[in-house]
């Protein structure tokens, strides 16, 4: 079953043939800063199961650590994948999927780097849509 994904502006689109690892929430400083979020949700995808559909020419790369490249849409800044070019897989930012991958997060990693303001999500208010005016 193929799954599709894209960046925020839609310029970059890709397709995968399933997810090859559990989804992990990474709290490392690099992932937090790359995503501008408390953590990054990622999963491995074998290279032969990952295809750019359009917009590959819109991608820019940043070498965040030796040999590791994070690929972003040059228009909207969405972080799509990170990769070591010599490895058989890419690390997909699963939040860019347009379809449900059918797997759920398995664990949090690099929690020693967690943002000090991060709280247990179950202990804070949840709203189905925009927050109410107080």
What are 1-48's pLDDT values in tens digits? 799 999 999 999 999 999 999 999 999 899 998 998 999 999 999 999
The answer to whether the CB of 14 falls within 8 A of the CB of 50 is: yes
pLDDT digits (tens, 9 = 90+) for 115-131: 888 876 677 777 788 87
Note the pTM of the prediction, 2 decimals. 0.86
- What domains appear along the chain, each with residue ranges and CATH number? 3-114 (2.170.150.70)
Q: How far apart are CA 120 and CA 39, in angstroms?
A: 13
Q: How far apart are CA 120 and CA 112, in angstroms?
A: 15
pLDDT at 134 over 80: no
Percent of the chain at pLDDT above 70?
98
């Amino acid at each position: 079953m193929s799954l599709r994904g894209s960046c925020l502006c839609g310029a970059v689109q890709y397709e995968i043939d399933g997810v090859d690892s559990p989804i992990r929430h990474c709290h490392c400083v690099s992932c937090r800063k790359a995503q501008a979020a408390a953590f990054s949700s990622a999963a491995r995808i074998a290279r032969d199961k990952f295809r750019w559909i359009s917009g590959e020419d819109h991608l820019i790369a940043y070498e965040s650590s030796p040999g590791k490249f994070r690929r972003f849409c040059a228009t909207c800044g969405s972080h799509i994948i990170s990769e070591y070019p010599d490895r058989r897989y890419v690390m997909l930012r699963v939040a860019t999927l347009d379809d449900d991958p059918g797997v759920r997060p398995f664990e949090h990693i690099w929690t020693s780097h967690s943002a000090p303001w991060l709280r247990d999500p179950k202990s804070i208010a949840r709203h189905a849509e925009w927050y109410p005016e107080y």
